[in-house]
Structure 1
Amino acid sequence: MLQQQAQAQQMQMKADAIGKLSKAEGTGAQQMMQGMVGR
């Protein structure tokens, strides 16, 4: 349970970082994020 929560936090941090990237790079990073979330 704790491990799952830590993993979710890590994903959130990654998504946040990719979100910032997507503002700089446009749709490419957004598509990458959607691919991660879809998995």
Structure 2
Amino acid sequence: MQQIGIYRYYNLQHLNSGPASNIISNQVTFTIYFACYYCYFI
């Protein structure tokens, strides 16, 4: 649940960005989210 909270926080931060940077930011956010999710179960 903590990972989801972090993911939502990053998404809220990126809503203020432009469309182009938003796509890049979402990609980075997803990578960070997936890495945290993976490390959580390792």
For the criterion TM > 0.5, the same-fold answer is yes
Report what 2:20 is aligned to: 2
Greater relative contact order (CA < 8 Å, ≥ 6 in sequence): 2
Unaligned 5+ residue runs, structure 2?
1-18
Structure 2 Cα separation of the partners of residues 23 and 2 of structure 1: 33
What are structure 1's unaligned runs of at least 5 residues? 25-39
TM normalised by structure 1 equals 0.56
Task: Give the TM-score taking structure 2 as reference length.
Answer: 0.53
* Cα offsets for 1:1-20 (capped at 9, x unmatched): 11011001100000010011
Q: Which runs of 4+ in 1 moved over 6 A?
A: none
- Count of aligned residue pairs for this structure pair: 24
* More helix as a share of residues: 1
